Amino acid sequence: MKEIGGYIEFETFHSDMLYDDGIKLNCGRNGFAYLIESRNIKKVRFPKMMCDSNDKVLSKYDLNVRYYSIGSDLKMEDITLDEDEWLYVVNYYGQLTDEYIMSLKKKYDRIILDNAQAYFHSPVKGIDTVYTCRKFFGVADGAILYTDAKLDRQLPVDESFGRMNFLLGRFERTASEFYGEYAANNDMFFDEPVKRMSRLTENILHGIDYGLIERKRTENFRTYHEAFASVNKLELNIPAGAFMYPLYIENGKAIRKKLQDMKIYIPTLWPNVLENCTESDAEYDMAENILPLPCDQRYSHNEIKYVIEAINNV
C-alpha cells in the first residue's frame, strides 16, 4: 500500500507523450549499450565527428571500432562493412531524409540511427533508432529506443530527483550560476549502467506541448536560414522541430568567442574532434567553425533576430 495523506508531491501529468511506445531508458548512450548487448554487436563503424559520450560504451563492451568520415553535406562517405559489422549513423542537425536513411538500410542492412539531434524525426520502420530527451526538453536525463531486439534481463528503474537542481535553478536564475551542476550531470552518465527511464522524467515528458515546441523550433530555424543561407557553407533542409541551426562560416571559432562576451553562448559540440583529428580533416574544420545557434522553444522571433544582428555585427 502506498502512502496516503501528507504533503502533495510533484504534479502528475497525463498528456500524450511523443514516442510513448518506445523503450524508455535513462540516457542516449545506454540506448546504444542496450543494442550492443541485445544484438550481440562486436564490431562497429563509427563517425569521426562524434562527441566522446559513447567512448565509455565502446571501451566497456570492448568493441572493434573502425571510423569513417562525413562530408560537408553531413552525410557519410561511401564505405564497406565486414560481414558482422554494424554501422552507426548520426542524423546531424536532422538533415537526413527518410529516403536517404532507407538507402543506407538497403545498402548496409545493419545500421543504428542516432537521432539525438533530430527528436522530431519519426522513427523509420525496421531501423534501430535512439533519441535523447535532454537535448530538446527541460529534463535531466532520458532516452527513447526503437528496436525489436530484447534484453533477457530486467533493468532497474532510474531516479532523477537528485539531478534536478540545475534545471530548477536556471528556471529562476541564470545559466552561469548552475553550469557546473549541468556539466557534472553530463559527466555522470559516463559510468551509468543501462536503466529504465525514471518515473519523474517520464512524468515531465507527459506534460509537454510537443506541437508548440516543434513549431517554435522549426520557425526559429527558418528565420536563421533566411538570414544566413547565402553565406552558410552548408546546404540545409529545414527540419521539423530543429535541434540547432548549424552556421558554417570562416572564423567561426573567433565569432563564437565574441558572442560569448555578449552573453550569447554557442557551444563547440565536438571538442574531442579537435584532439582526435588533424587540421586537414573536414571534421576538424566543421567542429571548430560550425556555430550551432540556439533555436529552441525558449526563444521568440525577437530573440532570434537579436542573435542574427549580433553575428552580423561581429
Model confidence at 188: pLDDT above 90: no
**pLDDT confidence of 181, banded at 50, 70, 90?**
very high
Q: How confident is the model at residue 3 (pLDDT cuts 50, 70, 90)?
A: confident
Mean pLDDT of the chain: 95
Q: What is the mean pLDDT of residues 156-169?
A: 96
Model confidence band, residue 51 (pLDDT cutoffs 50, 70, 90)? confident
- Distance from chain centroid for Cα 99: 21
- pLDDT of 237 reads 96
The CA distance from 175 to 118, in Å, is 24
Domains of the chain: 23-205 (3.40.640), 210-313 (3.90.1150.10)
The pLDDT of residue 309 is 97
Give the number of C-alpha atoms closer than 13 A to the C-alpha of residue 16, restricted to the C-beta side: 5
Identify any residues that bridge with 76 across adjacent strands, giving them in sequence order: 70
- Per-residue pLDDT, averaged over 181-192, amounts to 88
pLDDT band for 187, please (50, 70, 90 cuts).
confident
Residue 2 has pLDDT above 90, yes or no: no
C-alpha cell, 123:
522513427
Section 175-180 average pLDDT = 91
Query: What pLDDT, in 10s, does the model give residues 275-300?
Result: 988 888 889 999 999 999 999 999 99
- Residues of the chain with pLDDT > 90: what percent? 86
What mean pLDDT comes out for the span 9-30? 96
The pLDDT assigned to 55 comes to: 82
Question: Is 53 in contact with 28 (CB distance < 8 Å)?
Answer: yes
Under 8 Å between Cβ of 33 and 61: yes
Model confidence at 1, pLDDT cuts 50, 70, 90, reads: confident
How many angstroms separate the CA atoms of 83 and 238, rounded?
36
For residue 310, the model assigns a pLDDT of 97
309 vs 191: CA distance, rounded Å: 41
Specify the DSSP class assigned to residue 61.
T
pLDDT at 225 over 90: yes
Tell me the per-residue pLDDT of 230-262, one tens digit each, with 9 for 90 and over. 999 999 999 999 999 999 999 999 999 999 999
Asked if the model's pLDDT at residue 147 lies above 80, the reply is yes
Tell me the mean pLDDT in the region 135-154: 97
Q: So what's the pLDDT on residue 101?
A: 98
Q: CA-CA distance, 294 to 266, in Å (whole number)?
A: 8
